[in-house]
Amino acid sequence: MSVQVKGSVGFLGLGVMGREMARNLAVAGFAVKAYDVVPTAIEAMAGTGVTPAVTIAEATTDADIVISMLPDTPQVEDVVRGKGGLLSNPPRGGLYVDMSTIAPEATRILAADLLKAGVRMLDAPVSGGPVGARDATLTIMVGGEAAAFERARPFLQGMGTTINHVGASGAGQTVKLCNQLICGINLQAICEAFALGRACDIDLVQMREVLMGGSASSWMLEKLGEAMIEGDTSAGFRIDLMMKDLRLVLGEAQQNLVPLPATGLVASQYIAAQAHGEGANGNQALFRVYDRLTGRPTRRDATASLA
Ligand code: NAD
């Protein structure tokens, strides 16, 4: 029995998040053609039901909707304004959803320019990390025209479960930046609690479990706490990407005259982590800043030194 195709997607950016999201769209019954600047990222999609494309135009020209999941503002500018990009080669469906986390102001300018070329752009950044991307349970915050959002909704439902239209163009990015502000400060709070507990010879494994049952519980404590204690720095959401987000948060704050002292302090901790070569590691590596401040090893380091 042939599977009925629900619509066509041109997907740009097959990194930690994008490869899972593109795969889920194919599983949900959409015809997905995907492109990445790194050929091995495209090759890695073999067997997922996603069709590889060797140029942006090949992925996007005939698509009902184009979706991008790229690192930062310059890469999104590139797929819109660059060679074979959406401005010079508008997709057939006239709908573009950028799910990367980028600057709200840049989003508004891109959306206005794309509209002149007949393309509606939505900003739809996500929260939920690689696990949310894998399980199609992402939280998606969408800015842009309500009618375009309704057209995009069935596609977004292939990648996430909590999907909200939060305002005009750029509003999705602003809500995402507020999300990141809370995540960063929360992670910093956990680092401080773990550093203090460890210095006082408290069993951090037990402490985390106790805290999870009380009012200090949080997504960060649940998802990253164990890896922090174990000294497992494997990447999921990288330190470099969070620093990019905090830079965007502080830029918005400056532009809108909002003092964010705690965010500024947390950004300094992330800079310290980057300066010590942690940029490509996961966010839990923020705790390693405290290894240096307090001179205490992580649990895993301690085990290794005993071996
Ligand atoms: P990533 O660096 O793993 O993936 C980005 C991909 O885009 C890479 O494969 C890269 O080769 C590709 N790329 C770069 N420039 C390109 C271009 N011009 N054309 C086509 N492809 C291009 O990043 P990620 O972790 O997947 O994150 C993507 C976005 O999602 C970022 O904005 C990030 O802040 C956001 N985000 C990430 C997470 C997470 O946990 N990783 C969670 C929520 C949001």
- pLDDT (0 to 100) of residue 297: 62
Of 4-18, 269-283, 288-302, the least confident: 288-302
The model carries a pTM of: 0.93
Residues 112 and 206 in one domain: no
> Does 223 qualify as catalytic in the annotation?
no
- pLDDT (0 to 100) of residue 235: 80
Residues 161 and 201 in one domain: no
Q: Which residue minimizes the CA distance to atom 7 of ligand 1? A: 13
- Intra-chain end-to-end CA distance of the chain, in Å: 58
Residue 299 lies in a domain: no
Q: Which residue minimizes the CA distance to atom 30 of ligand 1? A: 100
Q: Would the pLDDT of 53 be above 60?
A: yes
Q: What is the pLDDT of residues 169-193, one digit of tens each?
A: 999 999 999 999 999 999 999 999 9
User: Which of 112, 146, 167 finishes a domain?
Assistant: 167
Higher pLDDT, 298 or 215: 215
Rounded CA separation 140/155 (Å) = 12
Q: How many domains is the chain built from?
A: 2
What is the DSSP code (8-state) at residue 90?
-
Cα(69) to ligand 1 centroid in Å equals 5
Mean pLDDT over 126-137 rounds to: 96
Provide residues with CB under 6 Å of ligand 1: 12-18, 35-38, 41, 69-71, 75, 78-79, 100-101, 126-127, 129-130, 236-237, 241, 245
- Which among 33, 83, 116, 176 is annotated as catalytic? 176
Specify the ligand 1 atom closest to the Cα of 12: 20
Domain that holds residue 277: 174-294
Share of the chain above pLDDT 70, in %: 95
Q: What is the pLDDT of residues 26-37, one digit of tens each?
A: 999 999 999 999
Q: What's the CATH number where 33 sits?
A: 3.40.50.720
Share of the chain above pLDDT 90, in %: 91
Specify the ligand 1 atom closest to the Cα of 241: 34
CB 15 within 8 Å of CB 71:
yes
Residue 305 lies in a domain: no
Cα(213) to ligand 1 centroid in Å equals 34
CB 282 within 8 Å of CB 236:
yes
Residues 194 and 286 in one domain: yes
- pLDDT (0 to 100) of residue 246: 98
Mutate to test the pocket of ligand 1, among 16, 110, 240 (most ligand atoms within 8 A of CB): 16
Residues 233 and 158 in one domain: no
Task: With cut-offs at 50, 70 and 90, classify the pLDDT of residue 303.
Answer: very low
Residues 218 and 151 in one domain: no
Sign of CA dihedral 56, 5, 100, 232: negative
- pLDDT (0 to 100) of residue 95: 98
Cα(71) to ligand 1 centroid in Å equals 4
Q: Within a 10 A sphere around the Cβ of 38, how many other Cβ atoms?
A: 11
Specify the ligand 1 atom closest to the Cα of 78: 18
- pLDDT (0 to 100) of residue 291: 83
Sign of CA dihedral 137, 142, 147, 151: negative
**263-268 contacts: CB < 8 A, separation 24 or more?**
263/181, 263/184, 263/185, 265/188, 266/184, 266/185, 266/187, 266/188, 267/184, 267/243
Rounded CA separation 284/272 (Å) = 14
- pLDDT (0 to 100) of residue 298: 52
Higher pLDDT, 209 or 233: 209
The H-or-E segment that residue 51 falls in is: strand 51-52
What's the mean pLDDT when you consider all of the chain?
94
Of 193-197, 230-234, 247-251, 296-300, the least confident: 296-300
Mean pLDDT over 241-252 rounds to: 98
Task: With cut-offs at 50, 70 and 90, classify the pLDDT of residue 98.
Answer: very high
